[in-house]
Amino acid sequence: MCLPAEVLVELERGVQKALRSGDDEHLHILGYGEISCVLSVTSRGRAYAVKRLPPFESEEAYQAYGRVFYEYLDALSRAGVEPVRSHLQVVTGEGRRVQAYCIQPRHEAESLGPNFLAACGLEEGRRFISEVVAATAGCVDKRLGLDAQLSNWVATDQGVRYLDVTTPMLRDESGAPLLDTKLFLLALPWALRGLTDIFLVDEIMKQYHDRRRALLDMAANLHKERLQQWIPEVISVANGHVEPPMTVEETRDYYRRDARMWAILLWLRRMDRAWQLHVRRRPYPFLLPGEIER
């Protein structure tokens, strides 16, 4: 699963160029999440999907993250969720900083959850939804969390596989997260980090450890994917695993709140990028998406 070092170095050079200029047209971007993006790389005839992680302040910080990352992969597998083969790889960062990438095999676009569901027939779609719901319901608990949105799943001949492993949602016996979430707060404007730290840990992350909220988030996100026709099917299957039952109206209300929050955060990040690039004259450390239809 390792990329040749020179390939990853060249990719990082391209990313740095985009960060300095604010122009990412020369990069092959597969897609954006709310915090980070996924890039495509081809090496020795193989295609890879690579996610650039926020920079680590030290080798010790990276090693601590790596331990939780691989522990999360094992925990998912033990809970019945099969993650896509994933590997961490490092390139040299500035000063003592460590820049890491998550390397995964690239899957065909039509096998990704939303695309698969948009094109498949009724029986295939029902089977896919049932597999994702069952995997989520059997996995999520107070110790192990999961972001079950369909964009994080891929359909394979061996069943569904899980993609989004770079935010290891693991807690210890006391309920404290094993992941240092401050790493991902670096993507937010400095002035917001203290407030968002409380919000992120206590609200956003909490939902991924609650079976009902994780499944509600999955169903509600189908509004964003323009797959509303599948929401009743998701709710029907999910309600076999949760109480109280979910409703279509609840998914609409949930999605409106969620979309509003992420839209505001993205606007603030764009303002921060403009400030960094044009006023402070220094690179902005994250690639940001263009307009997102919500």
Rounded-to-integer distance, Cα 265 and Cα 259, Å: 10
Name the packing angle between helices 231-238 and 211-220 (round to 10°).
170
Rounded (10°) CA dihedral 28, 164, 256, 208: -170
Beta-strand ranges (E) seen in 74-122 are 87-92, 98-105
Q: How confident is the model at residue 133 (pLDDT cuts 50, 70, 90)?
A: very high
What per-residue confidence (pLDDT) applies to 202?
62
Closest CA to 132 of 118, 146, 143, 115: 146
Cis peptide before 244 (omega within 30 of 0): yes
Span of 107-111, 229-233, 258-262, 286-290 with lowest mean pLDDT? 286-290
- CA nearest 187: which of 264, 258, 268? 268
Extract the tokens encoding 208: 């991924």
Q: What share of the chain has pLDDT > 70, as a percent? A: 87
Residue located via tokens 């095999």: 105
**Alpha-carbon distances, residue 120 vs 107, 112, 133, 162 (angstroms):** 17, 12, 17, 19
In tens, the pLDDT along 95-108 reads 568 899 999 999 99
The answer to whether 8 and 101 have CB atoms below 8 angstroms apart is yes
- 50-71: per-residue pLDDT in tens? 999 988 888 999 999 999 999 9
| Segment among 114-123, 182-191, 242-251 with least mean pLDDT | 182-191
pLDDT at 10: 93
Helix axis angle for 211-220 and 122-139, nearest 10°, is: 150
How big is the chain, counted in residues? 294
Please, what are the domains in the chain?
5-279 (1.10.510)
Range 75-95 average pLDDT: 90
Give the whole-angstrom CA distance, residue 234 versus residue 21: 42
pTM to 2 decimals? 0.85
CA distance 287 to 187: 10
